[in-house]
């Protein structure tokens, strides 16, 4: 062994000085390149950071800070988590917008005079989708609904609310305040919704709001019970409710419920909550906004895993959630809001 060591030392000594220096320089360059590549990879990763009032770069992300600070002042118990998406704003809009290569639009708006003409995408114009009452949304409409600065206000902030169960913030009475006069009315349903949400660590008001959003206050055939293959099935979350006609949509949703064995409303509620958790919450889509716009690459995919096509759904659901929190006097509980940050955001807020 000693002879081997001596031979290695002698071999190294025999290497010309110039070659030694060159080897050292090459080694240093390789180390530097490795370090740079590691930094680049880390900088490209999405990350979350709790906002502390000083850690938001206003030059890179214009218009955010003042809006967040105003909300923080009005609600001292609220916290805000900055979500660095690492995605370019215009690239996001391009991917969310409709194109000739996509069969169905990712984003739809109601066929209504309530919305301006330029909210309809140019590619499809007046072409109807879903049950025949929906139109393809334009890039302008998508920008307006996706721009976080249009959401950082009292009316819309619950689109960013982290959808987790918070002890004391969600109550049976709060659920009953929203479900009164609806197909979900009653103590037993409210208690079941609260317990099932607690078991899955989900915001019970979100679950209730989602049900109202999907079924309306009176419910539909999918929530009141629909006969499929001789069995009465329920699908109150409208899971797999897709198609280009009302009957096709109902049949697809009923088939899914039948295959899952959802033969009671209670069973469908519990399993539907589990579906949302596994399919969305557990892959990082843990706000209303993120369930509509799949900008989380935790599953290494973007723009594909969205809960609904309705571009306006997060705004509507957020309004319902806020009403429940206010009715139950828990709006100032310790709630957290996840704020997406995009790269190359324009100074001007999207109109």
**pLDDT for residue 132 is more than 80:** yes
Banded model confidence at residue 93, pLDDT cuts 50, 70, 90: very high
What average pLDDT does the chain have? 89
Summarised one tens digit per residue, pLDDT across range 25-39 is 566 665 545 444 444
User: Which residue has 């967040």 as its token pair?
Assistant: 68
Give me 137's structure tokens.
């949304």
> In a 3-state reduction of DSSP, which class is residue 207?
helix
**pLDDT for residue 11 is more than 80:** no
**pLDDT for residue 41 is more than 50:** no
Summarised one tens digit per residue, pLDDT across range 193-210 is 999 899 999 999 999 988
| Range with the largest mean pLDDT of 16-20, 139-143, 177-181, 218-222 | 139-143
* The pLDDT value given to residue 347: 96
Question: Alpha carbon of 11 to those of 2, 8, 15, 20: distances in Å?
Answer: 14, 5, 7, 12
* The pLDDT value given to residue 36: 46
Banded model confidence at residue 15, pLDDT cuts 50, 70, 90: low
Whole-structure pTM over 0.75, yes or no? yes
The percentage of residues in the chain with a pLDDT greater than 70, rounded to a whole number, is 88
Summarised one tens digit per residue, pLDDT across range 152-184 is 999 999 999 999 999 989 999 999 988 999 989
**pLDDT for residue 115 is more than 60:** yes
How many CB atoms within 10 Å of residue 93? 17
Partnered with residue 48 across adjacent β-strands are 83
Q: Mean per-residue pLDDT for 138-147? A: 98
Determine how β-strand 79-88 pairs with β-strand 336-343.
parallel
Q: What phi-psi label fits residue 316: left (phi over 0), alpha (psi between -120 and 50 degrees) or beta?
A: alpha
- Name the more confident of 122 and 154: 154
Determine how β-strand 128-129 pairs with β-strand 47-50.
unpaired
- Helical (H) or strand (E) element with 67: helix 65-74
* The pLDDT value given to residue 20: 58
Angle between helices 265-279 and 204-215 (to 10 degrees): 110
**pLDDT for residue 283 is more than 60:** yes
């Amino acid at each position: 062994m000693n002879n081997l060591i001596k031979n290695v030392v002698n071999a190294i000594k025999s290497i010309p000085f110039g070659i030694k220096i060159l080897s050292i320089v090459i080694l240093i360059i390789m180390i530097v390149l490795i370090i740079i590549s590691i930094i680049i990879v880390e900088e490209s990763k999405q990350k979350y950071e709790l906002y502390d009032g000083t850690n938001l770069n206003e030059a890179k992300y214009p218009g955010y800070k003042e809006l967040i600070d105003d909300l923080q002042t009005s609600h001292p118990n609220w916290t805000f988590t900055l979500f660095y998406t690492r995605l370019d704003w215009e690239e996001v809009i391009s991917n969310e917008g409709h194109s000739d290569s996509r069969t169905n639009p990712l984003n739809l708006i109601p066929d209504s005079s309530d919305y301006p003409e330029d909210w309809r995408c140019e590619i499809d114009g007046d072409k109807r989708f879903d049950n025949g009452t929906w139109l393809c949304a334009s890039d302008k409409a998508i920008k307006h609904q996706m721009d976080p600065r249009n959401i950082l206000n009292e009316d819309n902030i619950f689109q960013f609310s982290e959808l987790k169960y918070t002890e004391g913030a969600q109550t049976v009475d709060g659920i009953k305040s929203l479900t009164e006069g609806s197909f979900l009315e009653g103590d037993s349903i409210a208690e079941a919704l609260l317990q099932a949400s607690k078991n899955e660590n989900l915001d019970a008001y979100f679950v209730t709001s989602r049900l109202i959003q999907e079924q309306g206050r009176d419910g539909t055939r999918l929530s009141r019970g629909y006969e499929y293959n001789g069995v009465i099935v329920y699908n109150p979350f409208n899971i797999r409710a897709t198609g280009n006609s009302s009957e096709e949509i109902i049949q697809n949703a009923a088939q899914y419920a039948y295959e899952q064995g959802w033969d009671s409303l209670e069973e469908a509620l519990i399993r539907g909550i589990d579906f949302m958790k596994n399919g969305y919450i557990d892959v990082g889509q843990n706000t209303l906004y993120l369930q509509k716009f799949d900008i989380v690459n935790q599953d290494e995919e973007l723009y594909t895993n969205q809960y609904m096509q309705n571009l306006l759904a997060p705004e509507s659901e957020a309004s319902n959630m806020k009403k429940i929190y206010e009715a139950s006097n828990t709006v100032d509980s310790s709630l957290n809001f996840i704020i997406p940050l995009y790269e190359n955001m324009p100074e001007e807020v999207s109109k």
